[in-house]
Homo-oligomer: A and B are copies of this chain.
């Protein structure tokens, strides 16, 4: 029994060290990256219902040239406007999750084909930052979503 107790203690110790070394964090990063990818899939397909389902009830969108919007209904409106603006794709290149596992962010680059005032298609390129909150059921929801263009102001002033 004594030996078993020691072994059990060692297993707990190993798990603790593993967590401290960031092994748990690696799984959490994979999980938040999977959420980012799943959101991109329904967003780029312009599926409004499935896209809005990723938004936290108290989430906000911080869209360039517009005031911040907060709450699921307001986010749905902003997303619908974005769908109408053009075709968007993005790709995460960074993911960080807190040790406690319920808060994290993803960041990366986007490309959006936007129709300008004259009807011409312009390729906008930029970057984004999304803060995610893990729900009690384990799924990630968007708390804050922000982006801005890499292009010079003159290139984006017509859309």
Interface of A toward B, CB cutoff 8 Å: 60, 62-68, 96-105, 107, 127, 129, 131, 143-144, 146-154, 156-159
Across the interface, which residues of B come within 8 angstroms of A149, CB to CB?
A: 64-65
Number of copies: 2
Asked if B148 and A62 make an inter-chain contact with CB atoms under 8 angstroms apart, the answer reads yes
**How far is A97 from B150 in the complex, measured between Cα atoms in Å?**
29
A84 to B62, CA, bound (A): 25
CA distance A105 to B106 in the complex (A): 13
Task: Tell me the smallest distance from the CB of A37 to a CB of chain B, in Å.
Answer: 19
Given A68-B127, A146-B129, A150-B67, decide whether A99 and B96 contact each other with a Cβ distance below 8 A. Answer: no
Complexed CA–CA distance, A126 and B147 (Å): 13
The residues of B that contact A107 with a CB separation of less than 8 Å are: 60, 62, 68, 144
A153 lies within 8 A of B159 (CB): yes
A102-B98, A131-B131, A143-B96 known; A65-B158 Cβ under 8 A: no
A151 neighbours in B (Cβ, 8 Å): 65
Q: Once the chains are docked, how many angstroms separate the CA of A60 from the CA of B98?
A: 18
Residues of B with C-beta under 8 A to A100 = 98-101
Closest 4 CB pairs of A and B: A98-B98, A157-B157, A100-B100, A99-B100
Return the chain B residue nearest A151 by Cβ: B65
Note all chain B residues with C-beta closer than 8 A to A63: 148
Chain B neighbourhood of A102, CB < 8 A: 98-99
**Closest-CB distance, A46 to chain B (whole angstroms):** 23
Q: Chain B nearest CB: distance from A16 CB in Å?
A: 14
